[in-house]
Amino acid sequence: MAGKKQSCPSCFGSRMDEFFALQGVPTNSCILLKTRDEATSYPRGDIQLAFCPACGFISNMAFDPVLTEYSGRYEETQGFSETFNSFHRKLAERMIARHNLHRKNVLEIGCGKGEFLSLLAELGENQGIGFDPGYHEDRTSQSTARRVTFVKDFYSEKYASYKADFVCCKMTLEHIHPTAQFISTVRRAIGHRSDTIVFFQIPEVTRIVRDCAFEDIYYEHCSYFSPGSLARLFRQCGFDVLNLDTEYSDQYLTIEARPSDGTPRPPLVLEDDLDSLTRYVQEFPAKCATILNRWRGRIRESHARGKRIVLWGSGSKGVSFLTTLEVSNSIEYVVDINPYRQGFFMPATGQQIVPPTFLKNYRPDIVVIMNAIYRDEITRDLDAMGLNPEILTL
Ligand SMILES: [Zn+2]
């Protein structure tokens, strides 16, 4: 592992050890691209994942924020999946019950299309404010609109006057390179309101490095946390850590925290992960090469035998699968149940995104599912169309 000169964006430790690199990957996976030309000429950037031996944080040290775009044409919602909606609702109910969120003020940083904030507002009769440059007014019901205000902007210190009892931030921190700076901003914005609960949800990196989940490494995600590295960052930025959890088949990591009163509190059991993380990172390059070769061989051989292969899931994992494996020529279409993504094209590789019903005539031999958690849901959809392809999952 080569030592990098840049310091850790989380703990400011002086060393970052690079362990995985990809060149020329699309700098955005969720953007809607109208033509194949626009898709194949989409801007590219590099990934140089590096590990901080002091705090366990993993960062893409080649990340350039200028190359990313979060706008109205960013389409990332998972809200068309029953599996996801059921998880999301349970999560909102759990937060409401645990933190007594009834007739309170909730604030969401990076609220996307506002689904989670709407759930918190409706289920707990709360008032909400959400910040996201990619928000769309037409996705919010009238009943939610009475309770929730949306601001189409990135959250920053200029919004510190919006006080909340519950500050949440889901699937956003992983898009931010200066992580310590960001969490410190959140802490400063809360000021002296020491009973404010802060809830963050992000992808969990232990599984990614341990199992070589290469599909979960892509450009927009420049910051990767384990329970320990996330908790260490929050403590360093002036929070007490109340709870750490992994969920959604260990794909997500959540943290609940509260402003610290200055008394140091003992770490939670899950935080003790620096040794195991260090080992997984050391083993990652060799393990990952084996897994990538296996997938590449499987897809290319099937294509050579005349099999029709489609991917199911056109989001970031799908983009990463196609660009990391370089199997783009073996796959013609990518399926997505989100109607807002259908008809558009995959960045860099240019496959058209089609609705599930497209498969009735296309009759694929192999469907590669980008997230195993949706296997039952997708198999049911295929059965209902009278299709029985071979199913592969990541
Ligand atoms: Zn660090």
Could you read off the pLDDT tens digit of each residue along the chain, which spans 394 residues?
A: 444 468 999 999 999 999 999 999 999 888 889 999 999 999 999 999 999 999 999 999 999 988 887 665 666 666 677 888 899 999 999 999 999 999 999 999 999 889 999 999 999 999 999 999 888 877 677 777 889 999 999 898 889 899 899 999 999 999 999 999 999 999 999 999 999 999 999 999 999 999 999 999 999 999 999 999 999 999 999 999 999 999 988 899 999 999 999 998 899 999 999 999 999 999 999 999 999 999 999 999 999 999 999 999 999 999 999 999 999 899 999 999 999 999 999 999 999 999 999 999 999 999 999 999 899 999 999 999 999 999 999 8
Residue 270 confidence (pLDDT): 95
C-alpha 43 – ligand 1 centre gap (Å): 29
CA of 8 to the centre of ligand 1 (A): 5
pLDDT for 5:
64
The single-letter code of the amino acid at 250 is D
Determine the distance separating the centroid of ligand 1 and the alpha carbon of 260, expressed in angstroms.
21
User: Across the strands, what pairs with 224?
Assistant: 58
What spacing in Å lies between the alpha carbon of 81 and ligand 1's midpoint? 36
Distance between Cα 171 and ligand 1 center (Å): 20
Which residue from 364, 46, 66, 163 is spatially nearest to 385, judged by alpha carbons?
364
Instruction: State the distance from the centre of ligand 1 to the C-alpha of 236, rounded, in angstroms.
Output: 11
Q: pLDDT value at position 277?
A: 97
Q: What's the CA-to-centroid distance between 392 and ligand 1, angstroms?
A: 37
Rounded to the nearest angstrom, the distance between the alpha carbon of 54 and the centre of ligand 1 is 5
E strands within 210-341? Answer: 223-224, 239-247, 252-259, 309-312, 333-335
Phi, psi of 101, rounded to the nearest 5 degrees: -90, 85
Q: How far is the CA of 11 from the centre of ligand 1 (A)?
A: 4
Is the CB of residue 200 less than 8 Å from the CB of residue 169?
Answer: yes
Separation CA 238–CA 241 (nearest Å): 10
| Ligand 1 centroid distance, CA of 234 (Å) | 12
Contact 134, 72 (CB under 8 A): yes
Residue 30: the pLDDT is 82
The CA-CA-CA angle for residues 164, 169, 174, to 5°, reads: 155
Going by their DSSP bridges, the two strands 366-369 and 390-393 should be labelled as parallel
Q: Rounded to whole angstroms, how far apart are CA atoms 71 and 33?
A: 13
- Centre of ligand 1 to C-alpha 58, Å, is 8
User: What is the whole-number distance in angstroms between the Cα of residue 288 and the centre of ligand 1?
Assistant: 23
Distance from Cα 51 to the centre of ligand 1, integer Å: 8
Which ranges of the chain would DSSP assign to H, the alpha helix? Answer: 36-40, 82-98, 115-124, 142-147, 179-190, 205-211, 227-236, 274-304, 316-325, 359-362, 375-384
Measure 304 CA to ligand 1 centroid, in angstroms.
46
CA nearest neighbour of 188 among 166, 169, 163, 168:
163
> What is the distance of C-alpha 96 from the center of its chain?
23
Distance 10 CA to ligand 1 centre (A): 5
Residue 112 amino acid letter = G
> Phi/psi of residue 90, each to 5°?
-65, -40
Question: For residue 93, what pLDDT is reported?
Answer: 97
d(CA 6, ligand 1 centre) in Å: 11
Calculate how far, in angstroms, residue 57's C-alpha sits from the geometric centre of ligand 1. 5
Taking residue 86's Cβ as centre, other Cβ atoms within 10 Å add up to: 10
Which residues, in sequence order, are CB contacts of 68 under 8 Å at separation 6+?
A: 27, 28, 175, 219, 220
Q: What is the pLDDT of residue 199?
A: 98
